[in-house]
Amino acid sequence: MKRCARVIGSGGYLPETIRTNEDISKLVDTSDSWIFERTGIKTRRIAGENETAASMAEIAARQAIEMAGIEAGEIDLIIVATGSPDRVYPSTGCILQHRLEIQQCVAFDVQAACSGSIFAMSIADQYIKSGAADKVLIIGSEICSRLVDWTDRSTCILFGDGAGAVLLESTDKPGILSTHIHSDGGFEDLLYCPNPQVATASAKDEKGVITMKGNEVFKVAVNTLGRIVDETLATNNLDKSDIDWLVPHQANTRIIAATARKLKMSMDQVILTLENQGNTSSASVLLAFNEAIRDGRIKRGQIVLLEAFGAGFTWGSALIKY
């Protein structure tokens, strides 16, 4: 009997505080119209001072566990994707495991920037297919607002905070059809976030904030996401018209629209959360997926394409029969 990973639960958490484009225009030289026209973003959520990646992950995780109707103790593996972990170590996965009062399971983090949740899903899929795990919790949780330079108008307009969760279980029916993940470390200079505490002497004066050459990242992202769509369809011997929903990483509406055009999809088949969440990095795909599952747009049996692109560069996709 062939093992496959099926989605049995999902969850999401967004912090209470809303920061609008108007609010940001009081901090830097920008405007609501510039931000909305160039990115599609109007508002984003900002974590409270006592919130962390693990605290937000816990709320999203509990929702996913409740939807799945399982006990937290049944989970074999927790994978947290985050670029804003609570601590260098222990991993946010271990902190989350303790918060969920799970005594025995494997827990670790993956760091693949905005593609993190797709990387986590791909790892989970391998564990389930191989028989090494039956129930896997994957999380994307980010406090991007603490990695942003609020005096840099080219980046501070883009990011928001939040957490998304998906619970996967082994099944003999179709679930995750395929995952595809890639990395190319040659683009470090276009998008990075230094860690000054462990930097070399020459880099120790760099600020620990997101630094990005936005328009160059934009061009690579559009081309790369076009290629990954082709790779995913070819692997599964599917046609563009077989895809019911696109759940993209929420970085920029113009990037998302280019991928939808490539798939010949109407924007009505694209799950968009960008306008009121901004780019929540590794949380964005799972937050969007959860929203569309919970509001009933994504239905059992439908084919859903998840994709993401982020620093590294890293990029990936997951094709799921929900």
Candidates 20, 32, 34, 146: give the one binding ligand ACO (CB under 6 A).
34
Candidates 154, 178, 224, 236: give the one binding ligand ACO (CB under 6 A).
154
Q: Does residue 114 carry a catalytic annotation?
A: yes
Q: 162 and 117 in contact (C-beta within 8 Å)?
A: no
DSSP assignment of 2-50 equals --EEEEEEEEEE--SEEEEHHHHHTTSS--HHHHHHHH---EEEE--TT
Q: 170 and 294 in contact (C-beta within 8 Å)?
A: no
Segment contacting ligand ACO by CB under 6 A, of 67-75, 124-132, 214-222, 228-236: 214-222
Angle (deg, nearest 10), helices 253-262 and 214-235:
30
List 4, 114, 144, 156, catalytic entry: 114
- Least Å from the CB of residue 134 to ligand ACO: 32
By CB atoms closer than 10 A (0-12, 13-18, 19+), residue 70 is middle
For residue 241, what are the contacts with CB-CB under 8 A and spacing of at least 6? 264
Candidates 99, 129, 146, 153: give the one binding ligand ACO (CB under 6 A).
153
Q: 51 and 66 in contact (C-beta within 8 Å)?
A: no
Residue 91: CB atoms within 10 A of its CB come to 22
Per CB under 6 A, contacts with ligand ACO among 41-100 are none
By CB atoms closer than 10 A (0-12, 13-18, 19+), residue 96 is buried
Q: Which is nearer to ligand ACO, 186 or 301 (CB)?
A: 186
- Least Å from the CB of residue 196 to ligand ACO: 18
Per CB under 6 A, contacts with ligand ACO among 216-275 are 217-218, 221, 251-252, 255
Per CB under 6 A, contacts with ligand ACO among 94-133 are 113-114
Q: Does residue 50 carry a catalytic annotation?
A: no
For residue 249, CA distances in Å to 119, 219, 246 come to: 13, 15, 10
Q: For ligand ACO, how many residues bind (rule: CB under 6 A)?
A: 24
Q: Is 33 in the site for ligand ACO (CB under 6 A)?
A: no
Q: Which is nearer to ligand ACO, 73 or 196 (CB)?
A: 196
Give catalytic residue positions.
114, 249, 279
Which stretches of the chain bind ligand ACO, using CB under 6 A? 30, 34-35, 38-39, 113-114, 153-154, 157, 191, 214-215, 217-218, 221, 251-252, 255, 279, 281, 309-311
